[in-house]
Amino acid sequence: MLIAQIKVLLKESVLDPQGQAVEKALGTLGYNNIEKVRVGKYLEIMLAENNREAANKQVREMCERLLINAVIEDYTFTLVEV
């Protein structure tokens, strides 16, 4: 069994208002060493699959078909054995 841990963020060039809001809120709370905040999605998908190569291919395909909007989002993932 493998778990795919997928991190999704807006591309650098895309405005991230949620990140800006968090950044401002942290500043208001007195944290003045915050340089930048980006807010995105995190998914964990448990796969009944033991072949890492097949899982890699499948996760990439699922991201591109359903999970990610490739126009505005970037993603990275890692596979963890359970």
CB of residue 7 to a second copy, shortest distance in Å: 5
Supply angle C-alpha 32, 35, 37, rounded to 5. Answer: 110
Only one residue has tokens 């796969």, namely 47
Cβ distance to a second copy smaller for residue 19 or 79? 19
3-state secondary structure (DSSP) of residue 55: helix
Q: Which of 11, 27, 31, 78 binds a second copy (CB under 8 A)?
A: 31
CB of residue 26 to a second copy, shortest distance in Å: 6
- DSSP-assigned letter for residue 31: -
φ/ψ of 73, rounded to 5, equals: -120, 150
By CB under 8 A, residue 10 contacts a second copy: no
Pseudo-torsion of CA 16, 76, 44, 67, nearest 10°? 70
By CB under 8 A, residue 71 contacts a second copy: no
Residues near a second copy (CB under 8 A): 1, 5, 7-9, 19, 22, 25-26, 29, 31, 33-49, 58, 62, 65-67
